[in-house]
Amino acid sequence: MSVPTPAAGALPLLEAQLQAFAGALDRDDYPQASAVLDAHDASLSALDLHGLDAQQLARVRDLVQAQQALLQRMGSLRDAARAHIQIGHQSLRAAHAYLSAESLA
């Protein structure tokens, strides 16, 4: 029977952190998402891949791919928010222009 390496023991934590990150995104809780992502990055950076078997390395690869997918999702959410804000600014400028034109009439 083999003894699990510390890195192998860290894999469930990394998976839980990614699930918490996805959950925070689902709830639109961006401060929590940021905090969880920071913790996940620190855990991932501290991960020592030496001594992991092929199956564990595949889990790490899957975790990194899942993280990248979540980061892309976060980027899409950011872009959608930016577009929404820009539309709001355009509407506000149009309303001001309308009010200015009305006052001149």
Over residues 10-29, the pLDDT tens digits come to 899 999 999 999 999 999 99
Is residue 81 included in any domain, yes or no? no
Q: What local confidence, expressed as pLDDT, does residue 1 receive?
A: 45
- Domain extent for 12: 6-74
- Assign 37 to helix, strand or coil: helix
Count structural domains, the chain.
Answer: 1
Is residue 32 included in any domain, yes or no? yes
Is residue 85 included in any domain, yes or no? no
Q: What local confidence, expressed as pLDDT, does residue 54 receive?
A: 92
Is residue 102 included in any domain, yes or no? no
The verdict on pTM exceeding 0.75 is no
What is the per-residue pLDDT across 38-87, written as a single tens digit (0 to 9) for each?
A: 999 999 888 888 888 999 999 999 999 999 999 999 899 888 888 888 88
Q: What local confidence, expressed as pLDDT, does residue 104 receive?
A: 76
Cα–Cα dist 74/29, whole Å: 11
Is residue 64 included in any domain, yes or no? yes
Cα–Cα dist 50/29, whole Å: 35
